[in-house]
């Protein structure tokens, strides 16, 4: 019997017939499992982690509703996770993390429950899978994974794809029906329950305190933007933002932890270490108790650095994301 369902695409079981018949040697034996690296031991026969997941969560675009491409081609049962929709609408900054109540409601509407294993995948031109992963981690969900190679790897391994939008059934009962029946408490008992882990989310106040600290041995800040933006050589893509970077931060562009030319694949552990060393941060020499706060333009590619550091062996609590990032500094 397969473990409780995975992800988000609705309450649709992952059909055995959709699984890849074999895995080419060039592909990793498992989709990235950043937090539970023992999954391959628990399920040694897996071809891809999706074999054991009942649902799939898809994140294909940052700034638009589900694109036509999602309906044209996606993993069986996959749903669209929009980080602009599932966000804090009261914030002046884009796609900031929502409240636990709002996230629980959104995740439940996608059919998710806390028992689910969640796999996030993207296409080659999308770098936001790690942001989705981090959001679930920030709300206490540990069984969330990123599919190494994304949709292209799935297809290359022989996995079937679907067309059209998957049907979603909320994991909570309809609010009107529940409230009319006098059982509104069920809305807090069923579906996805979220509890914020504040240690994974840094505010501008915390970053300012760190920058102004006189301690010699303090936590570090690493910026995922490209070098021209970090070095104030070009304007920021968002109008009105100043050039430059947070004082004391170092620069590790997010694509340096990914396979060249492919934003769906993260590099091996040793190459991740090298990417950080090249940027001025030796992760291997950094004490485990020291935090590395990641930042970027608006908190998306910062999560890719946090994800990479978890792959390299650091605890997720030690690599928090500065949610507002540079957008919140100027």
Stretch (H or E) spanning 137: helix 129-138
Structure tokens at 284: 């291997």
d(CA 281, CA 241): 26
Best CA proximity match to 146, nearest among 124, 130, 170: 130
Residue 316 burial class via C-beta count within 10 angstroms: exposed 0-12, middle 13-18, buried 19 and up: buried
Give me the residue label for tokens 């504040």: 198
Residue among 126, 132, 296, 329 flagged as catalytic: 296
Q: Are 33 and 39 in contact (CB under 8 A)?
A: yes
Following CA atoms 209, 211, 214, 215 in sequence, which dihedral angle do they give, to the nearest 10 degrees? 90
Which distant-in-sequence residues (6+ apart) come within 8 Å of 50 by Cβ? Answer: 6, 14, 19, 31, 56, 75, 119, 147, 154, 159
User: Is 7 in a helix, a strand, or coil?
Assistant: coil
Q: Is the Cβ–Cβ distance between 152 and 145 less than 8 Å?
A: no
Residue whose structure tokens are 């760190």: 210
How many angstroms separate the CA atoms of 138 and 310, rounded?
14
In the residue annotation, 132 being an active-site residue is answered as: no
List residues with catalytic annotation: 296
């Amino acid at each position: 019997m397969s473990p409780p369902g995975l992800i988000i695409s609705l309450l649709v079981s992952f059909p055995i017939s959709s699984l890849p018949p074999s895995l080419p040697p060039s592909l990793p034996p498992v989709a990235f499992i950043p937090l539970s690296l023992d999954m391959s031991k628990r399920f040694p026969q897996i071809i891809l982690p999706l074999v054991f997941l009942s649902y799939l969560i898809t994140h294909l675009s940052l700034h638009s509703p589900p694109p036509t491409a999602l309906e044209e081609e996606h993993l069986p049962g996959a749903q669209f996770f929009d980080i602009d929709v599932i966000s804090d609408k009261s914030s002046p900054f884009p796609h900031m993390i929502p409240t636990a109540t709002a996230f629980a409601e959104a995740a439940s509407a996608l059919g998710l429950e806390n028992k689910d294993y969640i796999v996030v995948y993207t296409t080659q031109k999308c770098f936001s899978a790690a942001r989705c992963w981090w959001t679930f981690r920030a709300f206490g969900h540990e069984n969330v994974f990123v599919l190494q190679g994304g949709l292209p790897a799935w297809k290359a391994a022989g996995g079937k794809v679907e067309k059209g939008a998957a049907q979603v059934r909320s994991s909570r009962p309809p609010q009107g029906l529940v409230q009319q029946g006098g059982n509104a408490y069920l809305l807090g008992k069923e579906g996805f329950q979220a509890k914020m882990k504040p240690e994974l989310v840094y505010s501008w106040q915390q970053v300012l305190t760190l920058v102004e600290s006189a301690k010699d041995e303090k936590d570090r800040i690493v910026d995922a933007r490209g070098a021209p933006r970090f070095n104030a050589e070009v304007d920021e893509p968002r109008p009105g933002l100043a050039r430059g970077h947070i004082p004391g931060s170092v620069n590790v562009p997010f694509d340096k932890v990914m396979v060249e030319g492919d934003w769906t694949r993260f590099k091996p552990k040793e190459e991740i270490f090298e990417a950080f060393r090249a940027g001025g941060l030796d992760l291997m020499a950094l004490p485990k108790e020291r935090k590395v706060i990641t930042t970027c333009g608006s908190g998306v590619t910062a999560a890719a650095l946090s994800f990479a550091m978890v792959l390299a062996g650091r605890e997720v609590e030690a690599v928090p994301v500065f949610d507002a990032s540079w957008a919140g500094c100027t």
